[in-house]
């Protein structure tokens, strides 16, 4: 595949669309297309993680080795500043607060921002910006949370992504059978989720995870393995899961996740 061709599969890889197998198995992807694909990943983050992000090369912002561009946050609106063409929300998720600016150009934008008031919980999709060292979020979409299990779900996703980017990618990169020069595992052809199969690319927001890392999870700490197995259940988490999972999750968040909470 030429590096200057528009790669539709990679372009939508961060939005739940599955890339083609050709994209997955192509070795030595040009760094520009790889960077573009990373930039399109959608990362669930907490505000604490946002604020702790480090600066990579050039103008890149990265977390755990993954370029950060589009992020999703869930938090409570604590302040709203309404101007003529923009609306700035201060979103507090319990780990800190960040200002999210939504530009209002069309009627649909006005409808979206008018539905939100102080005290409401919202889900924010946006692009991370850093202006004079101050992090803000340029908001694409800000929506009310109607089912408050979304809050718990978001934090679980943040934990999962953090574990994936720090534990799993490190373990996978040490496997001798890896041949992909990008630094990740050679994707198995039968697997549809290529982003999960390319640790060099980092985690991208996917809802249909394929359990292709059974062999590599043996290398991961037993606790992380338990958490990952739990999180790989179907996207609609049942409210009736066994209490046995809460203990490892408690231990995880209280003692192993100072970077997130």
Interface with other proteins by CB under 8 A: which residues? Answer: 48, 76, 78-79, 90, 92, 94-97, 119, 121, 147-149, 151-153, 155-156, 237, 239, 241, 243, 246, 249-250, 252-253, 261
Nearer to other proteins, 145 or 192 (CB): 145
Query: Minimum distance between the CB of residue 112 and other proteins, rounded to whole angstroms?
Result: 21
Q: Are 65 and 110 in contact (CB under 8 A)?
A: no
* Shorter beta-carbon distance to other proteins: residue 58 or 147: 147
Which long-range contacts does 220-228 make (Cβ < 8 Å, 24+ apart)?
220/167, 220/168, 220/171, 221/167, 223/248, 223/251, 223/252, 223/256, 224/163, 224/167, 224/168, 227/159, 227/160, 227/163, 227/252, 228/160, 228/163, 228/164, 228/168
Q: 194: which residues sit within 8 A by CB, 6+ positions away?
A: 13, 18, 19, 21, 23, 24, 187
CB of 170 to other proteins, least distance (A): 23
In this complex, which beta carbon is closest to other proteins, that of residue 1 or of residue 51? 51
Q: What SS3 class is residue 185?
A: coil
Least separation in angstroms between residue 115's CB and other proteins is 16
Q: Would you say 142 or 231 has its CB closer to other proteins?
A: 231
Q: DSSP assignment, residue 23?
A: H
Tokens matching residue 183: 């630094």
Closest CB to other proteins among 160 and 199?
A: 160
CB of 160 to other proteins, least distance (A): 12
Distance in Å, CB of 97 to other proteins, minimum: 5
Nearer to other proteins, 110 or 246 (CB): 246
As a dihedral over the C-alpha atoms of residue 183, residue 185, residue 189, residue 191, rounded to 10 degrees, the angle is: -110
CB of 145 to other proteins, least distance (A): 10
What lies within 8 Å, CB to CB, of 66 at 6+ separation is 38, 41, 43, 165, 201, 202, 203
Nearest distance, CB of residue 78 and other proteins, angstroms: 5
Q: Which is nearer to other proteins, 162 or 201 (CB)?
A: 162
Residue for token pair 């999180």: 231
| Cβ–Cβ < 8 Å for 77, 38 | no
Place of tokens 């408050």: 148
């Amino acid at each position: 595949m030429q590096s200057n061709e528009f790669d539709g599969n990679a372009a939508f890889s961060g939005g739940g669309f599955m890339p083609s197998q050709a994209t997955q198995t192509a070795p030595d992807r040009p760094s520009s297309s790889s960077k573009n694909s990373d930039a399109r990943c959608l990362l669930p983050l907490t505000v604490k993680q946002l604020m702790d992000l480090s600066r990579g090369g050039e103008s890149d912002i990265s977390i755990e080795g993954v370029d950060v561009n589009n992020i999703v946050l869930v938090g409570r609106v604590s302040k709203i500043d309404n101007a003529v063409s923009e609306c700035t929300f201060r979103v507090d998720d319990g780990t800190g607060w960040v200002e999210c600016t939504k530009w209002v150009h069309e009627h649909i934008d006005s409808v979206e921002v008018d539905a939100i008031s102080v005290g409401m919980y919202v889900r924010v999709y946006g692009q991370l910006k850093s202006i004079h060292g101050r992090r803000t979020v340029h908001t694409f979409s800000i929506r009310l949370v109607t089912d408050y299990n979304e809050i718990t779900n978001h934090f679980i996703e943040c934990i999962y992504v953090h574990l994936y980017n720090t534990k799993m990618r490190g373990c996978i990169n040490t496997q001798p059978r890896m041949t992909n020069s990008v630094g990740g595992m050679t994707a198995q052809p039968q697997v549809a989720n290529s982003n999960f199969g390319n640790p060099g690319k980092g985690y991208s927001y996917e809802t249909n995870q394929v359990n292709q890392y059974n062999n590599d999870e043996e290398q991961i700490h037993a606790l992380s393995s338990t958490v990952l197995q739990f999180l790989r259940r179907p996207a609609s988490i049942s409210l009736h899961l066994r209490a046995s999972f809460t203990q490892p999750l408690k231990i995880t968040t209280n003692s192993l996740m100072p970077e997130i909470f």
